[in-house]
């Protein structure tokens, strides 16, 4: 039986190991590419009015619309027509005017929040009339409001139940969708075509100065 070079016996297993590692790396990269294709891209914000209201010192409220991102296939019909989350009560009339100019005085789901952003009152009906009444009754307790105008009324009652049950301190760990402080969730989580009103930090304010009572 012919002798085998000992050096060759050392080289061959090392080559096989490198080939196996390359194959595993290519397989993992392919899996990551497939997963990235399956993840839904976020909607893109387009600002229509960069300052429909401001308190002059801390907050401003902008108006905008969500657009489908590039490369996202198909057209998904948005569930909501208008959305506003944890807006200061001072902007309520301006937001109402902007919506009424397009669609009339809306009905939908609404919530009123305290200074820490916790929902203290909510329901379904004439959004701004109900919120104004609650604000008059509890001016010191309620500082922010949220609302959701649904395109189709077929499931409005079910959505009211889901939103009001979910929007509480027990959901504080799920900060991506629901928060129990004054910071709203990510507006881009809604479908393209949704019209939104968003409170933003005024320039010059420190990022860690966003909490506490409204000035």
Higher pLDDT, 82 or 198: 82
* Per-residue pLDDT tens digits for 40-98: 677 889 999 999 999 999 999 999 999 887 765 566 778 899 999 999 999 999 999 99
> Has residue 110 got a pLDDT over 60?
yes
Per the prediction, the chain carries an average pLDDT of 77
Contact 121, 112 (CB under 8 A): yes
> Has residue 103 got a pLDDT over 80?
yes
Q: For residue 176, what pLDDT band results from cuts at 50, 70 and 90? A: very low
Q: What's the angle, vertex CA 186, arms to CA 57 and CA 104, rounded to 5?
A: 75
Higher pLDDT, 190 or 79: 79
Handedness of CA 116, 119, 121, 122 (dihedral sign): positive
User: Locate tokens 């009424």: which residue?
Assistant: 100
């Amino acid at each position: 039986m012919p002798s085998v070079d000992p050096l060759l016996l050392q080289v061959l297993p090392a080559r096989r190991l490198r080939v196996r590692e390359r194959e595993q790396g290519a397989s993992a990269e392919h899996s990551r590419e497939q997963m990235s294709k399956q993840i839904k891209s976020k909607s893109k914000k387009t600002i229509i009015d960069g300052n429909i209201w401001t308190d002059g010192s801390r907050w401003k409220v902008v108006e905008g619309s969500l657009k489908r991102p590039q490369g996202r296939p198909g057209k998904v019909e948005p569930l909501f027509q208008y959305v506003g989350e944890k807006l200061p009560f001072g902007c309520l009339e301006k937001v109402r005017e902007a919506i009424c100019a397009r669609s009339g005085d809306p009905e939908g789901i609404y919530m009123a929040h305290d200074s820490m952003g916790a929902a203290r009152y909510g329901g379904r009906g004439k959004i701004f009339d109900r919120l104004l009444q609650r604000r008059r009754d509890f001016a010191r307790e309620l500082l922010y409001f949220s609302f959701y105008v649904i395109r189709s009324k077929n499931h409005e009652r079910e959505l009211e139940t889901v939103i009001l049950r979910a929007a509480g301190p027990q959901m504080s760990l799920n900060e991506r969708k629901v928060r129990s402080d004054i910071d709203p969730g990510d507006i881009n989580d809604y479908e393209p075509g949704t019209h939104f009103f968003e409170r933003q930090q005024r320039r010059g304010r420190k990022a860690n100065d966003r909490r506490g009572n409204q000035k």
